[in-house]
Amino acid sequence: MAQFGGVAAGRLNVAQMVIATESAAARNGPWVTLAAPTGERDPLFPVRGREALLGDVMRLCTQGGGGRLHVLQGFGGSGKTSVVLEAVIRLEEQRAAPQQVWWLDARREPSLIAGITALARKVGLRPHELRSEDMADALWGRLSVLPFRWVLVLDSADEPSLLDGPGKLASGTGWLRPHSAPDGVVIVTTRRSAAGEWGGHAVLHAVGPLPVADAGDVLLDHTGPAGGTRREAEALGRRLGGLPLALRMAGSYLAEVIGMPEAFHDPDTPVNFAAYLRALERGGAPAGALQAVTETKRLSVELMERRGFPLAGRLLGMLAAFADAPIPPTLLLRPSALSCTQGLEGLDGPTLWRMLKEFTALGILDQLPAAEQPPQLLTVRLHPLIRDVSREAGGVGDAIALMACAVALAEIGLPEEPEAWPVWELLSPHALYLGRHVTADSGLEEEARLSGAETVELAARYLQALGLFGQACKEYETVLAVRRRYLGDEHPDTLSIRHNLASAHHDLGDLSRARAGYEAVWGLWTRAGGEDHLHALLARHELARVLHDLGLLEEAKAHHEQVLAQEQRLHGDEHPRTMASRHELARVLHDAGQLAAARSEYEAIFNARLRTLGAQHPRTLTAQHNLACVLDDLGQHGAAHSQFEIVLAGRSAVLGLKHPRTLNTQVRLARSLHAQGGIAQAGELMQAVWRMSGEVLGQDHPDTLRVSSFLHRWGLV
């Protein structure tokens, strides 16, 4: 409970508050001012990126606030005070300033009460009115009838409960109230964004981060071109979260370093925007650069602790261990998952939800719109600088445990299934970021490294499903290194990642490595569980596909026939794995020139998948694509063209326009157009595919080279 005058504030009435404040002033001096702190404005550095808000505040100051409470809300250091101060000074310079501006410091209750008491004297309340129980009523009665334009600013009111005074702020009975003065305006600056705390008479004006271009301007204002290029300034501004205070501190630091003799530079001293950005990324930013943000974080945590959330700092440290990306709390922060962590396992759902709302209200977290995500996937994002100063020992291990537990509990679907992709889009940045620690010298225990590797594998499977084969391959190699170290080369989990790595090599067109990988995995699974073992059959199936792509059709056919017989015996004729084997055998028939037989098989497979999976499922679209291919090869170009257009629409919607499978359909559509005489249209489409394939897969990928060969054949390259 706040203390002043030696008495607990919560037990004083209004008169006692004023008496206590006056007594303190008599002992210590009248340490209160109602003057605006105009000296804090530096005329050398303009306020950037706030012109619209500045215009709004200036209009309020000259036209009145309509009796409403106008609240400028934003993260600490976002420039709320600077905007109001700039508005007041500009109006003064334009000779349009209100007759009276009163500026109160609302950070602490003693200074707030002292300021309100001084304001009451200024507007003419007599001594006995100052000591009466209804002083607040008398003050607002007087303010409402003043015959001149006035502005009352309460700066840094980060704890709205201090403004309750004799009643309640939200009810209009506190120290701040609705008023009827046509020429008066009340402006508050605060980090609190919860509208319910301010009441229905309040108007909230959000003060967000600066746009990237304006953030770059703030840095360049301080250093000029000596700090680097505009692009480098904007990159640093983005990393600093567009926070004006952090931008000014970084700009001032660089200006000082640039101006000092080089002999005084330490080896690690950032001397330009790019170097400063690198220092931030490796956690070695200049000591004072994040000081204000650290103080903001400390004050926020202390405020939440006073409000009954003793685990606020611990939760913040947990959030800071995740990636600088949207965090889905309904997935990652459910109480059942927090039971896997140290120190947060006792949090219940309602308390956790209130803590997240408090962090959001304080600007520590930004709640992000769901965009195209399902409505239940609420996301929040930690301010990047708060993230920098909140990391703590043990946070990574807890975050890894939390992630693994959340994935296990959420039943979110396989990374290969398109309906699960919205969830994996949110989870994969965090899984991959935490995965950086599983091979590093990070002090993690073996269990944490293996758990982290498991979630990295899932995220890599999602990348592979999206067609990002190179990234997936890199992440698989990370997982393989961890499992080989702790589990050995033949452990089931190690064999699983070796299988996935061979699959990524196949997708990348590295057929020799894919073949070697599958042969090894097939042999080891067969030795461990026999020829009918699930994973042995899967490895053999994929090996046959690689042999097919190597042109070894007879060898591929022999493997596929054996796998198909085993799958039929084990699972029946319409099991998805049986159908997959039939599909690959149909491809062998197709490439062997047995077009009629291939067509019959493709039609049967397509119809079965259409019935069981639906028209938009990737496997259904693959069967339809291959059916269209065999129709085209049979000379039925019109029928093939229609099928390719259907598949292209489906793959574009499900996989995206640049997915390798979508590109493959565009290639076949172009060939069909060319065969029907649409030479120009076919050429334009094939050239577009060639550019996209080079971008996505690389110029040396077999698919890109195949497209290039068609362009050469058609005389377009």
3-state secondary structure of 275: helix
Ranking 41-55, 61-75, 81-95, 389-403 by mean pLDDT, the lowest is 389-403
pLDDT tens-digit series, residues 628-653: 999 999 999 999 999 999 999 999 99
Could you give the residue ranges of the DSSP H alpha helices within 440-510?
446-465, 469-487, 492-507
Which pLDDT belongs to residue 7?
33
Whether the per-residue pLDDT at 443 is higher than 60: the answer is yes
* 522 closest CA partner among 507, 543, 504: 543
pLDDT tens-digit series, residues 104-124: 999 888 888 889 999 999 999
pLDDT tens-digit series, residues 318-335: 899 998 888 888 888 888
Q: How far is CA 641 from the centre of its chain?
A: 41
- pLDDT above 70 coverage of the chain, percent: 93
Contact 603, 624 (CB under 8 A): no
User: What residues contact residue 301 under an 8 Å CB cut-off, 6+ apart?
Assistant: 312, 313, 316
Q: And the tokens for 414? A: 């396989």
Which pLDDT belongs to residue 338?
86
Contact 327, 399 (CB under 8 A): no
Which pLDDT belongs to residue 288?
60
Q: How confident is the model at residue 284 (pLDDT cuts 50, 70, 90)?
A: low
- pLDDT above 90 coverage of the chain, percent: 56
Residue with more model confidence, 341 or 507: 507
Stretch 382-393: mean pLDDT: 81
Which pLDDT belongs to residue 368?
60
Residue whose entry in the numeric block shows the structure tokens 């938009």: 616
Whether the per-residue pLDDT at 300 is higher than 70: the answer is yes
Ranking 174-188, 191-205, 379-393, 499-513 by mean pLDDT, the lowest is 379-393
Whether the per-residue pLDDT at 15 is higher than 80: the answer is no
Whether the per-residue pLDDT at 394 is higher than 80: the answer is no
Question: Residues 8, 13, 14, 15: is their CA dihedral positive or negative?
Answer: negative
Q: And the tokens for 467? A: 């067609």
Q: And the tokens for 663? A: 């590109």
**CA dist., res. 703 & res. 355, Å (int):** 51
Residue with more model confidence, 85 or 341: 85
pTM across the whole model: 0.73
Exposure string over 227-238, b if 16+ CB within 10 A, otherwise e: bbeeebbbbbbb
Whether the per-residue pLDDT at 390 is higher than 80: the answer is yes
User: Strands 100-105, 69-73: parallel, antiparallel or unpaired by DSSP?
Assistant: unpaired
Name the amino acid, one letter, at 688.
A
Stretch 13-40: mean pLDDT: 60
Could you give the residue ranges of the DSSP H alpha helices within 176-264?
195-198, 212-223, 230-239, 244-259
Residue with more model confidence, 411 or 553: 553
Exposure string over 278-299, b if 16+ CB within 10 A, otherwise e: ebbeeeebbeebbebbbebbeb
Stretch 200-227: mean pLDDT: 93
Q: How confident is the model at residue 267 (pLDDT cuts 50, 70, 90)?
A: confident
Question: Residues 407, 413, 415, 418: is their CA dihedral positive or negative?
Answer: negative
Could you give the domains of the chain? 3-206 (3.40.50.300), 212-289 (no CATH), 292-410 (1.10.10), 416-425+446-508 (1.25.40)
Contact 463, 416 (CB under 8 A): no
3-state secondary structure of 74: coil
Whether the per-residue pLDDT at 478 is higher than 90: the answer is yes
Q: How confident is the model at residue 8 (pLDDT cuts 50, 70, 90)?
A: very low
Q: And the tokens for 623? A: 């069967």
Whether the per-residue pLDDT at 664 is higher than 50: the answer is yes
Distances (CA, A) of 391 to 12, 220, 706: 41, 30, 49
Q: What share of the chain is helix, strand, coil (3-state, %, to 5)?
A: 65, 5, 30
Stretch 269-286: mean pLDDT: 82
Name the amino acid, one letter, at 157.
A
Which pLDDT belongs to residue 376?
60
**CA dist., res. 541 & res. 192, Å (int):** 59
**CA dist., res. 336 & res. 358, Å (int):** 21
69-73 sheet: strands from edge to edge: 100-105, 150-155, 184-190, 69-73, 202-206
Which pLDDT belongs to residue 521?
97
- For the chain, the C-alpha Rg in angstroms (whole number) is 33
pLDDT tens-digit series, residues 238-252: 988 898 888 888 888
Which pLDDT belongs to residue 16?
52
Q: How confident is the model at residue 489 (pLDDT cuts 50, 70, 90)?
A: very high
Name the amino acid, one letter, at 496.
S
Q: How many CB atoms lie within 10 A of CB 490?
A: 15
Q: And the tokens for 106? A: 């609302």
Name the amino acid, one letter, at 232.
E
Which pLDDT belongs to residue 13?
54
Q: What mean pLDDT value characterizes the chain?
A: 87
Contact 288, 241 (CB under 8 A): no
Q: How confident is the model at residue 375 (pLDDT cuts 50, 70, 90)?
A: low
CA-based angle 289:294:300, to the nearest 5?
150
Name the amino acid, one letter, at 137.
D
